[in-house]
Amino acid sequence: MGDFVRVEVADQIATIRLDRPKMNALNSQMQHELGEAARAVDADPEVRAVVVYGGERVFAAGVDIKEMVVMSYADMAAHSRGLQGCFTAVAAIGKPVIAAVTGYALGGGCELALCADFRVAGESAKLGQPEIQLGLIPGAGGTQRLPRLIGPARAKDLIYSGRHVAAAEALSIGLVDRVVPDAEVYAAALAWAGTFTGGPAVALRAAKQAVDQGVEVDLDTGLEIERLQFSGLFATDDAKIGMRAFTDKAEPKFTGR
């Protein structure tokens, strides 16, 4: 896919692999390639689930500070739209997405992990939003996605302090969903992704959209989003297959249509 981001597909699972040694610092080129990779796997009908992975040693240590230090306000005002856009492309993938977090997931790395539906972390992983220590704030979604995930007070603690959060604490506050031995992170993420590959792809996309859009609106509007998604699924083959299998006491074989 690119010099620093590639897509590997096996068994209906796409791995978006970050590969910019040593720390996967997310420079402009890598951000562009990440957005392109996200849009590609979203559009690929053969892909049923996605894993975002930075390798055995590190997920991503953040946006490239060496690139940003020379930027003016005008530069960043223009650049920040693309920065947020590539992360939004990951969040918008209409399939289950799991971040496999090894080593550091800091700043932009943490913000990338927040774009996934689920996060599997290694026992020695460290997550955080240290931008305040540079006189900045998170700029790729951290001030918005983090409080939606762990609550405003906990998010403020991490953003105001810039401290690194160890895997055990990250699990306890809901920042990650599972903690496994470091060597098992990618395998655990793949195994989790594999539980979705035989599922009803259209219904999974509808469920993701209903939840993600619903948390942004009032309850009545959210219920209407749910109603429309629910009703629309009655036009799919998978709904007919699933309901017929239930009445026949058989195992459904979904087609993704």
Enzyme catalytic residues:
111, 131
Contact 104, 54 (CB under 8 A): no
Helix (H) or strand (E) holding 253: none
Which region, left, alpha or beta, applies to residue 44 given φ > 0 means left and ψ of -120 to 50 means alpha? Answer: beta
Q: How many CA atoms lie within 13 Å of 152's alpha carbon, on the beta-carbon side?
A: 0
Angle formed by the axes of helices 152-161 and 142-150, nearest 10°: 140
Distance, CA of 110 to CA of 93 (rounded, Å): 18
**Calpha distance 95→115 (Å, rounded):** 12
Whose CA is closest to 89, among 133, 26, 38, 159?
Answer: 38
Q: Which of 203, 236, 217, 215 has its CA nearest to residue 95?
A: 203
